Structures are given as C-alpha cells and as structure tokens.
Amino acid sequence: MKNRIEVGKPVGIEVSIAQSEVVAQCDVDVIAAYPITPQTHIVEHLAEIVADGDLDAAFIPVESEHSAMSACVGSSAVGARTFTATCSQGLALMHEILYIASGLRLPIVMSCVNRALSAPINIWGDQSDIMAERDTGWVQIFTENGQEVVDQTICAFRIAEDRRVMLPVIVNLDGFSMSHVIEPIRFYDTKQVRGFVGVYQPPLRLDPAQPMMFGPVGIPEIYTEAKKANDVALIESRQVIEEVWAAFAREFGNAYRALETYRTDDAEYLLLTVGGMSETASVAIDALREQGVKVGQVKLRLWRPFPHDDLAALLGKARGVFVFDRCLSTAGPGGPVASEVKTSLYNLRERPLVVGFIGGLGGRDVTVQQFADMVHKGIGYVAAGAAPVYEMVGVRE
C-alpha cells in the first residue's frame, strides 16, 4: 500500500485534489458522480486515480446527479463503500433520493462543494444548496479549510458505517474559495487511514443467499415509526461522531468539536459563522479585541445532528449573538442558521438578542471590515433592545 502523496508534513495541494486523494486512501469501492462546477476537480481526479490503477473502484460516469445518487443507493445496498460529490443544481436534482439514502440507512459519503442556486445562474460559493437539504436525514458537517476537509472526509466514512449510525454523511466545503485553493495539507499514511476507517461490513445487503427487501411501502401504521427510527438514529449519531473525532485526534493529532470557539472567554458578544468564511471572521475578531470589544467567535461544524444543547450552553450567557448566514431564506424568519440558533435559545429563561446577517451570496466576498461592522451593528441593536428579523450585508439597494 504505497502512498501516492507525501505524508507526515504539510504539502501544498489544491483542496479538491486533496479530498480525492483521501477518498482513495479510504479505499472506496464505488464512485458515481456527475460533473458540476466547482465540484469537478474532485471527481476528475478520482477518475484519474482509478484510471491509473491506484484505486480498485468502479467509477460510474452517470448521466445526471439524480442517477448519481440512485447508483450510490444501489452500490451501497450491495455493501460497497460509496462516494459521490456534487453541489448546487446537482444537489437540488438529487433532493428526492437524498431522503431515500438516509431512509434506507445507507452509509454513502458525499462531498458538497457549496455553491449558489439559480436563478440567476451562478457558479460561485454560498450555502443555499445545502441549506435546502437540511431535513434529508444525513449527517452534515462543515469545514473551514483544506486540512479539515481531509480530516472530516476520513471521519465521515467511519461515522457513516458505524453500526450504531448507518446513515449517509455530507462533508461541506466552500466552492472555489476552498475547493480551488492550494493550501498546506498534512496527509497520513495510507495504511494508517485504512486501519482507521476499517473495511466496510454491511449489516444487511442485497444478497440472493439471504433475500430481503429494501424500500417497501410504508403504510400509515408503520411510516411514523420508520421516521422516528431515523430521527433517533441521527440524534444518537452524535455520540459516535464525538467518539470518532476523539479517536481521530488520538490517531492523527487534530481535534474536532461540534462547535469550535475562538476567543470566547469573557466574551459578551458572539459572532457565529459556518464554513470557510469563518477564517476571515476570526481576523475581524482579533481586530475588535485589540479595540477592547468583548467579542468572541463560535464556529458551527456540525449542522446535523444539530447541537442544540451545546449552543444553548455556549451562547445562552452572552448579551448578543450575531449569526452570519450565506443563504437567504426568502421572505422567511431569517437565515437558516440564525433561525435554528434562535430556536435553540428561545426556551432559556434568559437569552441573548440574536441578530441575523446574510451575505456572501453567490461568491460575493465578505471582508474583515464587514465582519467587524456586523459586530458593531449587532452591539448597537443589543443596546437598543431590538433588531430587524434579518439584514443583508454588502447589498446595493
């Protein structure tokens, strides 16, 4: 099992390429994918790895994302470790089958290279695509840099295939600003990675020696129970996710948590971010701290299962929480992250004012200064004791 890439010390590599290298290290059996910018480099590189004979896998060049996810369901149902990647229109086209993958408890791993949704057509980054899929029953993890993408992809297989979970997992990364950027990334020995993810042992599969049905009709007498079972499995996956992250830290050194914090000690105000723009926001936090503003940052890594209790514990004591969403819930109650954060806090006896900001849509940059402005504005709203339902950042009106 030779390494295709240098291991042990950081090498400069495009994040998409890094993710496909690590998928190959995880010894996937089937990749079924359809190209869409900015996901293309991931599947192209996987096709190359297979073409070079460095990964013994079936690369199924399907004719659509709908068929990509359908083929993934088929291959996972026969017990093959299965990977795909998509985003935006492609993810939307998969929508129908995403529920079925989780409903059939198939541990497919998918990379979602977050991109805006049409119209107008836009190939650049935001999180509208994944937010439309939040209720599909998949474990959903966000990353903020290339190293996290590599690490979380490894963890994803082990989480998905754990007998206590048996659910599909999405690893999110920002389109272009992460996927197409060359970053220093530390890889691990292939043998060690394979040891960590293990060999997939499906508890059930389509097997003539032991026939069974996948996907029968769920009559009203059974549908609710089936859904409840899915819900319990996703909620309880949290325990396994923590275990896998802890094991990963022991094995490879990097530690992960559902909510990452930055300079939150003694913070009265918290800026909550998701994904790659968190790094820009952190720079703003540094600058604000220099000015004496008592602000810290909370980065949401685990989107499903949603870490309600952790959020309540972490944010409950703050005076103001400023949530930055890269998705517009059109004419809704705020960005999806902001409204879920509000939900987590609402039943607390004392709770902070939550202010929702929406920006970074369709690849629009959000600067350090803009993050600082959000904090200042948020503090103003706290002082006034009221805030608009949500506010769009950097928009020409």
Under rule CB under 8 A, residue 78 binds other proteins: yes
Q: Beta strands 182-185 and 11-14: pairing type?
A: antiparallel
Coil, strand or helix at 151: helix
Using CA atoms, how far residue 40 sits from 33, 44, 112, 296, in Å, is 9, 6, 11, 36
Under rule CB under 8 A, residue 32 binds other proteins: yes
Under rule CB under 8 A, residue 95 binds other proteins: no
75 in Cβ contact with 114 (< 8 Å): no
Query: Whole-number minimum distance, CB 40 to other proteins, in Å?
Result: 19
Residues 343-372, one symbol each (x = binds other proteins by CB under 8 A, - = not), give: ------------------------------
Count the neighbouring beta carbons within 10 Å of the beta carbon of residue 166: 18
141 in Cβ contact with 257 (< 8 Å): no
Query: Whole-number minimum distance, CB 363 to other proteins, in Å?
Result: 30
Residues 104-133, one symbol each (x = binds other proteins by CB under 8 A, - = not), give: x-----------------------------
Count the neighbouring beta carbons within 10 Å of the beta carbon of residue 75: 24
Q: Which residue, 167 or 241, has its beta carbon nearer to other proteins?
A: 167
Q: Which residue, 102 or 264, has its beta carbon nearer to other proteins?
A: 102
Q: Determine the interface stretch with other proteins among 4-12, 63-71, 242-250, 316-324 (rule: CB under 8 A).
A: 63-71
What the block records as the tokens of 349 is: 């006896």
Tell me which residues in 217-236 interact with other proteins (CB under 8 A): 217-219, 222
Under rule CB under 8 A, residue 213 binds other proteins: yes
Coil, strand or helix at 310: helix
Query: Whole-number minimum distance, CB 239 to other proteins, in Å?
Result: 28
Kind plus residue range of the DSSP H or E element containing 82: strand 82-86
Under rule CB under 8 A, residue 87 binds other proteins: no
What the block records as the tokens of 260 is: 């990452």
Under rule CB under 8 A, residue 30 binds other proteins: yes
Under rule CB under 8 A, residue 381 binds other proteins: no
Q: Which residue, 218 or 253, has its beta carbon nearer to other proteins?
A: 218
Under rule CB under 8 A, residue 62 binds other proteins: yes
Residues 145-184, one symbol each (x = binds other proteins by CB under 8 A, - = not), give: ----------------------------------------
Query: Whole-number minimum distance, CB 336 to other proteins, in Å?
Result: 26
Q: Determine the interface stretch with other proteins among 97-105, 139-147, 273-281, 304-312 (rule: CB under 8 A).
A: 97-105
Count the neighbouring beta carbons within 10 Å of the beta carbon of residue 119: 5
Q: How far apart are CA 161 and CA 166, in angstroms?
A: 5
Using CA atoms, how far residue 324 sits from 258, 299, 334, 358, in Å, is 17, 10, 10, 6
| DSSP codes of every residue in 311-370 | HHHHHTT-SEEEEEESS--TTSSS-HHHHHHHHHHHTSSS--EEEEEE--GGG----HHH
Q: Determine the interface stretch with other proteins among 50-58, 111-119, 324-332, 383-391 (rule: CB under 8 A).
A: 50-58
| DSSP classification of residue 5 | S
Kind plus residue range of the DSSP H or E element containing 31: strand 30-32
Q: Which residue, 120 or 220, has its beta carbon nearer to other proteins?
A: 220
Q: Which residue, 29 or 310, has its beta carbon nearer to other proteins?
A: 29
Q: Determine the interface stretch with other proteins among 5-13, 166-174, 198-206, 327-335 (rule: CB under 8 A).
A: 198-206
270 in Cβ contact with 295 (< 8 Å): yes
Residues forming contacts to other proteins in the complex (CB under 8 A) are 29-30, 32, 56-58, 60-64, 66-68, 70-80, 82, 96-97, 100, 104, 199, 205-208, 210-219, 222
